[in-house]
């Protein structure tokens, strides 16, 4: 017992010297570790730690899946990996472009990460580099306004390798199957399936508890929801919310929200109601099922209404 206490104290001292406390992670399947983000919105109180991020450990290497909303969060995730294993981080996989998932990339490729071995290969959807170029300046300005000094060293780092269709990555005795989706939550969504444990990482193709946020094509998202339902996953890690076993029940809950939103926005347009009125009424029947509903749902209507009006 004394040796365990001493080892824990030495590890804490080492992490303090590195300037970053390890992010808290849980092992949800053998070799699969996840940090559950908080249900906070962007803006006041945002701290860069709202998305589910984590890593998978193989016999030879590690793959990190999403890196968090700032350099500091990414660095804390890197230290969490080092608490678990000294194996090299071979891949950093981004599930999509949103800032709460990707601003920690730099912590895995910057000079101060060199002590942990060769820089990992960054992997993302074929449309991800374009999305990063288009949004990078705006995302960084927003992050600096929200986090101030805590945004230091945060930047978007584009993937070295992109996926159009499917890609299999090898971690040594463990394969990850990556799928690039057509327009859905965004136009650059990527899911990751760990064959060994049967764990599916959906990115923001699936929200649990937190109101789904639209930045792509609702009809495409509904189609992706149907396809995800066919994946034989033992456990599922959504982009936001707790790890779940009953994936299809969660997909059904999300489907109900997206269908209600689409139906009600279309009904508002047909009746001549303006967008402000639609923001107050669209998908109101779903309010009790979701956190952050009022803020996120209004943003969803503001994006969906003009697109449906044009359609």
Is the pLDDT at 82 greater than 90, yes or no?
yes
Please, what is the average pLDDT of the chain?
Answer: 92
Residues 240-253: tens digit of each pLDDT: 999 999 999 999 99
**Residue 147: alpha-carbon gap to chain centroid:** 19
Structure tokens at 196: 């060994």
Q: pTM of the full predicted structure?
A: 0.91
Instruction: State the average pLDDT over residues 261-265.
Output: 96
The region of weakest confidence among 93-97, 114-118, 153-157 is 114-118
- What beta strand segments (E) does 58-165 contain? 62-65, 89-93, 121-125, 161-163
pLDDT in tens, 49-58: 999 999 999 9
In angstroms, the Cα distances linking 205 to 94, 96, 154, 212 are: 13, 10, 25, 9
Share of the chain above pLDDT 90, in %: 86
How many C-beta atoms lie closer than 10 Å to residue 293's C-beta? 18
* pLDDT surpasses 90 at 311: no
Q: Mean pLDDT over residues 24-33, rounded?
A: 98
Residue 146's pLDDT band (boundaries 50, 70, 90)? very high
């Amino acid at each position: 017992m004394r040796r365990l206490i001493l080892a824990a104290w030495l590890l804490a001292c080492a992490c303090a010297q590195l300037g970053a406390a390890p992010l808290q992670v849980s092992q949800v399947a053998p070799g699969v570790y996840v940090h559950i983000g908080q249900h906070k919105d962007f803006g006041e109180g945002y701290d860069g730690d709202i998305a589910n991020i984590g890593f998978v450990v193989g016999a030879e290497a590690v793959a990190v899946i999403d890196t968090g909303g700032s350099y500091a969060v990414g660095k804390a995730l890197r230290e969490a990996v080092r608490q678990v294993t000294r194996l090299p981080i071979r891949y950093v996989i981004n599930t999509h472009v949103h800032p709460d998932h990707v601003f920690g990339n730099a912590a895995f490729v910057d000079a101060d990460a060199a002590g942990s071995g060769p820089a990992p290969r960054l992997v993302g959807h074929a449309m991800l580099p374009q999305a990063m170029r288009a949004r990078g300046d705006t995302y960084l300005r927003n992050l600096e306004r929200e986090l101030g000094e805590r945004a230091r060293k945060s930047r978007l780092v584009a993937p070295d390798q992109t996926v159009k269709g499917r890609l299999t990555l090898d971690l040594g005795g463990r394969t990850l199957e990556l799928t690039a989706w057509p327009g859905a939550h965004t136009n650059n969504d990527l899911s990751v399936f760990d064959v060994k444990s049967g764990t599916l990482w959906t990115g923001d193709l699936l929200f649990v508890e937190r109101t789904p946020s639209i930045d792509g094509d609702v009809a495409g998202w509904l189609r992706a929801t149907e396809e995800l339902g066919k994946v034989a996953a033992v456990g599922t890690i959504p982009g936001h919310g707790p790890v779940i076993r009953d994936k299809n029940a969660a997909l059904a809950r999300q489907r109900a929200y997206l269908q209600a939103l689409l139906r009600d926005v279309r009904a508002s347009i047909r009746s001549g109601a303006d967008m402000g009125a639609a923001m107050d009424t669209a998908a109101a029947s779903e309010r009790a099922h979701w956190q952050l509903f009022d803020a996120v749902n209004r943003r969803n209507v503001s994006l969906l209404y003009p697109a449906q009006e044009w359609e």
